[in-house]
């Protein structure tokens, strides 16, 4: 395809504004997908995406479109996720494009990730096409929202295309606008080929599949390739495009998006952000890669069954190919044995990773409560970073502890200003500013400790505002705070996986809540089990799980034995999932108790 007839673009938006549905219509209009194969949000192909109705992974797909000018265009579309935790996916997708379609829900207006994703696109000098969606809905206010786009984003309201991705109305205008306004890719076709790996996944037959955007030159099958950062040399199994399923092609040329099936079985050799070139007289300079996503939230992942440790390591390695934001390193815990400290972009990301490991790799995982990364300044002057409360050194050696603070932006209708203020203050947040977006909606800015944010902040914000608020956040700074480690002792043994770092003023309150939570979570044992929360040597709270006295089934005659045996077998299976702390059986939920400290009960 002639380079001037190629268009590479992403669809970006706030969560649920209709990106994937718009992609459906584009795929349909261009005949990329037959009516028979069509289903709602067809690009959300992962089981988890379909179940939750949300896009987790960006997906690239090639379409062919014959425009009103009579010419045929190759359109490489990337549908992106809208959730704030996956903004790293968006930024990588945008680097493979010359333009972006910004979708705004015409019943909602501009939300936090509308702005956040737009800024990423602008930073990369992309051409932006604004689209307001869902105009079929009675509550739609397309003209108002188009005006809002002009006022807040500086795009001309007259250029905003008003569509319904559901009914398909005006969607063809979007394709025409892409052809007319998004520039074709540039890139010397005669230069030695170079392509940037922007995503990947593992295929048991074809090895690592690298998703690439070709910057220069032309890749052909049967050419030995080299990865410039890892140095790996490989004979590709095939080159191809997504349409949307993998489809082999005979060449991938500058400006095109596609995949290279590398055949590599060792996943370490092929990383997102690496540059692919040919092995013989290839390119000299690698393409600029990606800024590493900085994990915000850390948790211990342990196999429920200790024997699955190797499988978990293998699974994390493979999953990382498909989730470039995922980081992990081995960790050991007295309570939970061998596992990994895993870093995530947010709690939703953590949730998704755990589910993917369990479903795609058939593992059963115990996750500890999430923590943030603290900087600890030692008396010696040395600064260490810890992501697990258990790693906090002896307080007598500590000069100060710093914790990460975030700046956050909340978009909400003005009637919720009061409740939002209250919520943020409760979480140790500081008010910065408020501005009106229009007559009824405000943009509130705060600073807040990340540690407070990762514990149910988002859920509470959603429930106090009945779902009308949206949130964006960025790392702000590390601040020195009065922080202490709250230890938990079960039957007098400290449990490393239950320790948490808290503000000194809240240690007492949190200790009490934690103990009473655990008391309800830990089943009664054959002996009384004291549960204590302590700061240093000082016990701040204590409760006892009373010894179990009676569990026997009253009746067991001839007919009952089989049923009773089955019941006990089932109970015993359930017990296998309990973790032994000393001689106390602790259920997995106990390790997440910290997350529910603020529940009213």
Partner 1 sequence: MPQRPYAPGSVTSGVHLPESPLALYYHIPFCQIRCTYCAFNTYTRLESLIPGYAEALIRETRLVAGSARRPAVTIYFGGGTPSLIPPRLIAPLLDACAEVFDLAPDVEITLEANPGTTDRAYLQELRAIGVNRLSVGMQSAHARELHLFARGHGVDEVRETVTLARAAGFENISLDLIYGVPQQTLDMWQTSLETALDIGPDHLSMYSLGLEDGTPMQRWVERGHLPAPDSDLAADMYEWADERLARAGFEQYEISNWARPGLACRHNLHYWRSLPYLGLGAGAHGYAGGKRTVTVLHPAHYIERIQQQPAPLPYPASAATDTIEPIDARQAMVETMMMGLRLVQEGVALSTFRAWFGRDLWEVYGAELDRLIAFGLVELPTADQVRLTPRGRLLGNHVFAEFIQE
Ligand X SMILES: Nc1nc2c(ncn2[C@@H]2O[C@H](COP(=O)(O)OP(=O)(O)OP(=O)(O)O)[C@@H](O)[C@H]2O)c(=O)[nH]1
220 vs 462, beta carbon nearer ligand X = 462
CB 128 within 8 A of CB 121: yes
565 interacts with, out of Mg ion, partner 1, ligand X, none, CB within 5 to 8 A per kind? partner 1
Q: How far is the CB of 12 from ligand X (least distance, A)?
A: 9
Distance CA 455, CA 465 (A): 17
Instruction: Specify burial of residue 439 (Cβ count, 10 A radius: 0-12, 13-18, 19+).
Output: exposed
494 bridge partner residues? 489
54 vs 97, beta carbon nearer ligand X = 54
- Tell me the backbone φ, ψ of residue 154, rounded to 5 degrees: 75, 20
CB 238 within 8 A of CB 248: yes
Q: How far is the CB of 138 from ligand X (least distance, A)?
A: 10
Nearest by Cα to 17 from 107, 130, 142: 107
Count of beta carbons in the 10 Å neighbourhood of residue 565: 11
- Contact region with ligand X (CB under 6 A), list: 10-18, 467-475, 477-485, 488-496: 10-18
Distance CA 200, CA 208 (A): 7
20 vs 95, beta carbon nearer ligand X = 20
409 bridge partner residues? 445, 472
Nearest by Cα to 363 from 300, 311, 299: 311
Can you tell me which of 38, 233, 384, 553 binds partner 1, judged by CB under 8 A? 553
Residue 474 in contact with partner 1, rule: CB under 8 A: no
138 vs 559, beta carbon nearer partner 1 = 559
- Total binding residues toward ligand X, as defined by CB under 6 A: 21
Q: How far is the CB of 461 from ligand X (least distance, A)?
A: 18
Can you tell me which of 26, 27, 42, 54 binds ligand X, judged by CB under 6 A? 54
> Distances from the Cα of 456 to the Cαs of 153, 422, 597, in angstroms?
31, 15, 10
**Are β-strands 225-227 and 218-219 bridged in parallel, bridged antiparallel, or unpaired?**
unpaired
555 interacts with, out of ligand X, partner 1, Mg ion, none, CB within 5 to 8 A per kind? partner 1
Would you state the torsion angle of the CA atoms of residues 353, 374, 494, 396, taken in this order, to the nearest 10 degrees? 170
Q: 197-236 mask for partner 1 (x: CB under 8 A)?
A: ----------------------------------------
Helix, coil or strand: residue 448: strand
Sign of CA dihedral 491, 497, 503, 506: negative
Q: 159-198 mask for ligand X (x: CB under 6 A)?
A: -----xxx--------------------------------
Residue 137 in contact with ligand X, rule: CB under 6 A: yes
Residue 279 in contact with partner 1, rule: CB under 8 A: no
- Total binding residues toward partner 1, as defined by CB under 8 A: 25
Return the structure tokens found at 117: 């994703």
569 interacts with, out of Mg ion, ligand X, partner 1, none, CB within 5 to 8 A per kind? partner 1
Distance CA 111, CA 7 (A): 27
Residue 55 in contact with Mg ion, rule: CB under 5 A: yes
Residue 20 in contact with Mg ion, rule: CB under 5 A: yes
CB 138 within 8 A of CB 47: no
- Contact region with Mg ion (CB under 5 A), list: 15-23, 171-179, 269-277, 363-371: 15-23
Return the structure tokens found at 145: 């929202």
Return the structure tokens found at 440: 């009824």
Residue 82 in contact with ligand X, rule: CB under 6 A: yes
Residue 50 in contact with ligand X, rule: CB under 6 A: no
**Contacts to partner 1 by CB under 8 A:** 526, 546, 548-559, 561-562, 564-565, 568-569, 571-573, 575-576
**Contacts to ligand X by CB under 6 A:** 13, 15-21, 41, 53-55, 81-82, 133-134, 136-137, 164-166
**Contacts to Mg ion by CB under 5 A:** 19-20, 55
């Amino acid at each position: 395809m002639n380079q001037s007839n190629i268009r590479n673009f992403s669809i970006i938006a706030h969560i649920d504004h209709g990106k994937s549905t718009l992609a459906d219509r584009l795929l349909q209009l261009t005949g990329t997908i037959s009516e028979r194969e069509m289903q709602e949000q067809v690009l959300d192909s992962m089981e988890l995406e379909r179940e939750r109705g949300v896009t987790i992974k960006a997906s690239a797909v090639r379409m062919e479109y014959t425009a009103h000018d009579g010419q045929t265009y190759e359109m490489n579309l990337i549908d992106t996720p809208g959730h704030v935790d996956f903004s790293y996916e968006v930024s990588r997708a945008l680097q493979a494009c010359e333009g972006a379609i910004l979708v705004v829900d015409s019943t909602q207006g501009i939300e936090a990730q509308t702005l956040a994703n737009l800024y990423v696109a602008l930073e990369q000098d992309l051409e932006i096409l604004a689209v307001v969606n869902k105009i079929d809905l009675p509550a739609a206010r397309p003209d108002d929202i188009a005006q809002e786009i002009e006022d807040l984003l500086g795009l001309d309201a007259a250029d905003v295309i008003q569509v319904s991705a559901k009914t398909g109305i005006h969607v063809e205008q979007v394709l025409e606008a892409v052809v007319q306004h998004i520039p074709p890719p540039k890139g010397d076709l005669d230069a030695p080929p170079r392509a940037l790996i922007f995503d990947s996944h593992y295929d048991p037959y074809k090895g690592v599949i690298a998703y690439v955007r070709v910057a220069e030159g032309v890749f052909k099958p049967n050419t030995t390739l080299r990865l410039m950062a890892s140095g790996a040399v490989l004979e590709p199994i095939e080159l191809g495009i997504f349409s949307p399923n993998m489809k082999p092609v005979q060449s991938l040329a500058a400006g095109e998006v596609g995949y290279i099936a590398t055949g590599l079985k060792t996943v370490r050799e092929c990383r997102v952000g690496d540059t692919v070139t040919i092995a013989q007289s290839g390119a000299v300079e690698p393409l600029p890669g990606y800024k590493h996503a900085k994990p915000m939230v850390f948790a211990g992942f342990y196999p429920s069954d200790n024997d699955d440790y190797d499988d978990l390591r293998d699974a994390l390695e493979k999953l990382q190919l498909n989730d470039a934001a995922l980081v992990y390193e081995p960790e050991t815990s007295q309570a939970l044995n061998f596992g990994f400290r895993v870093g995530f972009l947010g709690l939703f990301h953590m949730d998704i990773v755990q589910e993917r490991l369990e479903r795609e790799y058939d593992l059963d995982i115990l996750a500890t409560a999430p923590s943030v990364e603290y900087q600890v300044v030692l008396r010696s002057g040395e600064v260490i970073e810890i992501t697990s409360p258990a790693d906090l050194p002896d307080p007598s050696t500590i000069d100060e502890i710093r914790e990460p603070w975030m700046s956050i932006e909340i978009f909400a209708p003005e009637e919720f200003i009061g409740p939002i203020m209250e919520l943020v203050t409760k979480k140790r947040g500081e008010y910065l500013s408020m501005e009106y977006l229009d007559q009824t909606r405000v943009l509130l800015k705060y600073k807040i400790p990340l540690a407070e944010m990762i514990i149910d902040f988002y859920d509470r914000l959603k429930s106090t505002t009945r779902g009308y608020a949206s949130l964006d956040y960025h790392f702000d700074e590390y601040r020195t705070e009065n922080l202490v480690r709250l230890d938990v002792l079960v039957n007098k043994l400290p449990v490393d996986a239950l320790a948490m770092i808290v503000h000194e003023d809240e240690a007492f309150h949190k200790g009490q809540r934690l103990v009473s939570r655990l008391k309800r979570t830990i089943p009664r044992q054959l002996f009384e089990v004291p549960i204590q929360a302590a700061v240093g040597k000082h016990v701040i709270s204590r409760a006892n799980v009373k010894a179990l006295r009676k569990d026997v089934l009253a009746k067991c005659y001839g007919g009952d034995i089989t049923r009773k045996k089955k019941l006990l077998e089932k109970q015993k299976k359930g017990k296998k999932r309990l973790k032994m702390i000393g001689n106390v059986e602790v259920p997995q939920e106990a390790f997440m108790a910290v997350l529910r400290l603020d529940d009213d009960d």
